[in-house]
Amino acid sequence: MIPFLSVIGRGNTGKTTLIRNLIRELGILGYSVAVIKHDPEEHGTVDRKGSDTWLFREAGSRAVILASPSRITLFRTTEKEQFPEELFQLCGDVDLIILEGYKKRDYPKIFLWTEKKEKLDVDPLWNLLAIIYTKEEEKEALKRFGDTAIPLFCRDDSVKIAQFVEQYIFKTKERDKGGR
């Protein structure tokens, strides 16, 4: 299976920025990455009202594919939410799939913590790979999580975070091959 991880955190903590930086840095290291964004409240505005794709879906089409020379966008009506594993095949041949969200699922996660928005402690059931903090909150993050076995990274250090994720990809692929 393709290695995957989830980036979680409250709204406006920098999840999208971190993922964009990881895509860039992992690309420099020679890895290809796909992203699946969770939108449980359906706030996303990709298929805008009045567009051709929206009109086709409104007319009753169960699937609409928008195809161009450089990309394919699929809009498909579903009876229930699709789990990311059911969507992996749509991502093509990639080295890593990054999920944005899915904090309630038992997936390996990178957590963007911020004291301003997180009053709760880290849930041990979150299956955390790493905790990311802001430079301004470094002292508090180290005080709060420094004694845990979970690696800590400053959000500004994209290179180190990407290198950590690279090790995760390598370990996952070795484990799937039956190695240790």
CATH number at residue 85: 3.40.50.300
Task: Name residues whose C-beta falls within 8 Å of residue 169's C-beta, 6 or more positions apart in sequence.
Answer: 3, 31, 95, 96
Express the helix, strand and coil content of the chain in percent, nearest 5 each: 35, 20, 45
pLDDT at 161: 98
Task: Mark whether 109 and 172 lie in a shared domain.
Answer: yes
| pLDDT bucket at 133, cuts 50 / 70 / 90 | very high
pLDDT for 45 beyond 70: no
- Written as one letter, the residue type at 110 is I
Task: Mark whether 61 and 141 lie in a shared domain.
Answer: no
Task: Mark whether 129 and 172 lie in a shared domain.
Answer: yes
pLDDT for 119 beyond 70: no
Q: What is the pTM of this model?
A: 0.86
Task: Mark whether 95 and 49 lie in a shared domain.
Answer: no
Domain count, the chain: 2
Structural domain that includes position 27: 4-40+81-177
Mean pLDDT of 32-42: 85
